[in-house]
Amino acid sequence: MSERAALAALTLAAVIAWALVPTYPDYDAYHHLVWGRDLLAGATPGFEDPFAPTQHPLYLALGALLSLAGEHADRLLVLVTVLSLVALIAAAYVLGRALFGTAPALLGALLVGSSFAFLLYAVRAFVDVPFLALVVWAAALEVRRPRRGALPMTLLALAGLLRPEAWVLAGLYWLWCLPERSPRARGGLLALAAGAPVLWCLVDLAVTGDPLFSLTSTQALSESLDRERGLGNVPGTFVTHLADLARPPVALAGVIGLALALRRFGWRALAVPLALCGAGALTFAAIGVAGLSLIPRYLTLPAVALCVLAGYAVLGFTTLQPGPLRTRWRRAAAGALVVGVAFLVVKAGSFGALRDELRFIDRTHGELSGLLAQPRVQAGLRCGALTFPTYRLVPDARWLLDADADAVRTRAGEGGALRSPGAVAVYIAGDAKFERRFGRADGVSRATNRPPGAAASAVHGPFRAAVSCPARPR
């Protein structure tokens, strides 16, 4: 099968899977859809809403564009990220083939595509997947033609409107491209490299009046949610998060592959994967210094690089001439494959966990939609605000109801304070997983999920709604 035919088959399989297994965006992605719809309606996006996530300018623009499709925009956003995963797998293959040859590239791409984390990110419409696709394609194009310039830098600039990690890569790439370029060409590349952070700050300034709002608000949110932060936690979380993303045997094989490739090819030939790993590590450390949450998603770039390098560690012998070294490498690779298969057997439950998570996502959307459609709830919404015990389902409900931030909110206030229950108070009961996921959250009092004084007026699965009208309807 040719490479184009394989890509077409993978794309078709992804679209079929998207159509047959309904999933919906996560908290951050739903916020961008809501904000995009607000923009089209002439309203200011609620970057300053309680517990709002960090805005990503390109994702905001995508949310505005997709919101033109109406109620189906959330599923279309998932399709975009699922296809972005296909693009990421293709980019990993092209990068690996340019560095190491066909067989290591195929294995590296397979390791990227089989990552539980990347699959889950794609089906929940995480911004990370299109970000990774853009960066890894930029890396692949650079390896195929070193110091190419404009096209890789353009991809990095677009990626920089999705995640700030690309700013570091764009700056490094500009320095890499300086030799043998005219001052005008250097200035053009510098404008591209600087465009993403400048535009990000301009969006913050236009909406909030503070060009650094994304940084300061993310710091404040990390503190309120009591997540792991600080430079002292960087070394430990770096290792554990990276191993979790790539999977421990793959991460170890990636480190071995890097050592083997450096010995055979030298650091100049490995400049691109080294840059991906280095930029990820540098950004993760900077996040620790800035006091932001140290979460696995900030290490996705090094994880992809390790998958590509692991392909070389296992199948790099296929690029050698027959001889003792090839024989020893092949035998070691066979042992590594045995370890990998054993790991898959031990971790077979992960595939079941992914299936269960997909079913849970679909059920959550169906149960919430069903509750909001009930006549008693609809009547209560005409009387006052809809409230949830935590912030997790607020953007989902806002999207489904086409409501503003005052109409749908959480009962969790700053410093653990309880806010008023509103006219329709939703709480979760009868299902432990739903209660853990939506009735509790870091930094939020458990009291927010206690049933209010009024009896449940509407029930749909684990969701209960106590409907009452305030003295003065809004």
Q: Which amino acid is at 122?
A: A
CA 240 – CA 141 distance, rounded (Å): 30
Going by the DSSP 8-state scheme, the letter that residue 458 receives in this structure is E
HSE, CB side, 13 Å, CA atoms: give it for residue 450: 8
Q: Give the pairing of strands 408-410 and 386-388.
A: parallel
In DSSP terms, 418 is beta-bridged to: 412
Phi-psi region of 101 (alpha: psi -120 to 50; beta: other; left: phi over 0): left
CA 209 – CA 212 distance, rounded (Å): 9
CB 419 within 8 A of CB 409: yes
Beta strands in 21-162 (DSSP E): none
Whole-model pTM: value is 0.92
Q: Give the pairing of strands 424-428 and 386-388.
A: parallel
CA 143 – CA 198 distance, rounded (Å): 28
CA 161 – CA 156 distance, rounded (Å): 9
HSE, CB side, 13 Å, CA atoms: give it for residue 416: 6
Pick from 233, 435, 257, 414: nearest CA to 336: 257
CA 48 – CA 43 distance, rounded (Å): 13
Interacting residues of 105 by C-beta distance below 8 A, sequence separation 6+: 92, 93, 94, 95, 96, 97, 99, 308, 311
Interacting residues of 458 by C-beta distance below 8 A, sequence separation 6+: 371, 374, 376, 377, 464, 465, 467
Q: One digit per residue, pLDDT tens: the chain, 474 residues?
A: 688 899 999 999 999 999 999 999 999 999 999 999 999 999 999 999 888 999 999 999 999 999 999 989 999 999 999 999 999 999 999 999 999 999 999 999 999 998 889 999 999 999 999 999 999 999 999 999 998 989 999 999 999 999 998 999 999 999 999 987 888 999 999 999 999 999 999 999 999 999 998 888 776 666 555 555 556 667 777 788 787 887 888 888 999 999 999 999 998 899 999 999 888 888 877 777 766 667 778 889 999 999 999 999 999 998 888 888 888 888 888 887 777 776 666 565 666 778 888 899 999 999 999 999 999 999 999 989 999 999 999 999 999 999 998 999 999 876 666 888 888 999 999 889 999 999 888 778 888 888 776 667 889 999 999 998 754 444
Q: Give the pairing of strands 458-460 and 463-467.
A: antiparallel
CA 427 – CA 439 distance, rounded (Å): 7
How many CB atoms neighbour CB 334 within 10 A?
11
